[in-house]
Structure 1
């Protein structure tokens, strides 16, 4: 009996995903209860990155997570609650603990141990930001004794860069906002993260520049708590529709998201 109900639920998810991609609200109790069991879709965001949430000149919020979360809530026919954190690692932990329903983040194997991911939404380049008058002109100038590379605490950069650079020192920052202050105090010489965030930082640091090239890619996907995998067919249809309809391009433009490339379709 339990297997039969599970099969019915999966079939309903797929059918309603196709029907719901017209953009109209999907009043589907099964999907809404699975993705938003509290009756409200709790979306984890952190300020300062267009992949999550930024504000335009008029103070209106935009962002990949912010806008995709809002669009999905409309299609499910539920309310939305944006839950703010300082950094993405805290959001992933909150999703793991069931305190947040959804975010968009880098779908790494390590994070896949804690949350479940949709198909990729888009990919973004990873890079380095240096302040004005920095003697660092290229990536080859980084791996030297005394060079301090800033990273966001709990990020992919913090886990990855120590294996790439043996002589430079990796210095964790509590948030992107605090990292800008660390430049001014001489606590870091450059900052490593995804390029959309680096562009946002450079806008606040006259003369700052992003080094040519990249040191990898982040594959951004929708993250949900473990145990809700029956919702993945619906989420994958949602992602595919946002990509093919041009809605994803609009979201990127509104958020000023730079450094992104199209995700490979699975």
Structure 2
């Protein structure tokens, strides 16, 4: 494993501490213990491993949505985020290869006539999705006939949906399934409408960002190959996702 040279290291973590944005809107990647406020999950394990390899102290900074982490990265308030690879965000963010692939799914009420993903993009359907999430970005590009309605966050999608907003809910399969346990009369549509590749992102505005991305990419490749990512997913009981190819 190669090391970061001093100038690249300084541009990567200009404060001397690696400030990592943690998106709590995706339970596959990160969660917060409600009692202790301790953050835990696959992305936290990877962040701490990067801190260990770079000999940098790690500061984990929680955010409610992926969009919030992106905004903080662009503002220079954090140095690294865990985010879905998306071409829109890619204008400002340099990505590593993916470390996890996650499924995006649709949920409807049990009484809905909708049975398949292919039936969703029809005039009159209204899809509720978390504002600024990877699913929002994807659906905004791909949906041609249905309407996209935005909840304030991915966690608010099911509550908004059950309060009468829209006739389809969209998001991380596990998030929808977990939130749906609070209600009755809901069902998931089979399969997925998209596969989301989760990666590390750093700002393109920093000097030497290409070198930093190459360095982080080599770490991700090693963590996948060694079983580190798979072990973290097993340790945190993550299902419905897989180690990215």
After superposition, what is the alpha-carbon deviation per residue over 1:143-191, rounded to whole angstroms, capped at 9, x for unaligned?
3444321111123333332554444221011112222221221113222
- Of 15, 32, 37, 1:38 maps to 15
The 2-side partners of 1:92 and 1:143 are apart by: 28
Partner of 1:172: helix, strand, or coil? strand
Paired with 2:215 and 2:179, the residues of 1 have a C-alpha distance of 35
Instruction: Tell me which residue corresponds to 1:184.
Output: 162
Say if 2:79 is the partner of 1:71: no
Q: How many residues align?
A: 241
1:42 is paired with a residue of what secondary structure?
A: strand
Checking the alignment, whether the CA contact within 8 Å between 1:64 and 1:104 is kept in structure 2 is no
Alignment of 1:15 onto 2:2? yes
Larger displacement relative to structure 2 (59-68 or 116-125): 59-68
Q: Which residues in structure 2 correspond to 1:122-137 (within 5 Å)?
A: 122-137=100-115
- How far apart, in 2, do the equivalents of 1:90 and 1:102 lie? 13
Listed as ranges, the gaps of 5+ residues in structure 1 are 1-13, 18-27
Q: Greater helix share, 1 or 2?
A: 1
Deviates more, 1:139-148 or 1:65-74: 139-148
Q: What RMSD in Å do the two structures reach over aligned CA positions?
A: 2.7
| Match in the other structure for 1:257 | 238
What is the CA–CA distance in structure 1 between the aligned matches of 2:143 and 2:213, rounded to whole Å?
37
Counterpart of 2:92 (choices 103, 109, 114) is 114
SS state at 2:165 partner: coil
Please show how residues 151-230 of structure 1 align to structure 2 within 5 Å.
151-162=129-140, 164-206=142-184, 208-226=186-204, 227=206, 228-230=209-211
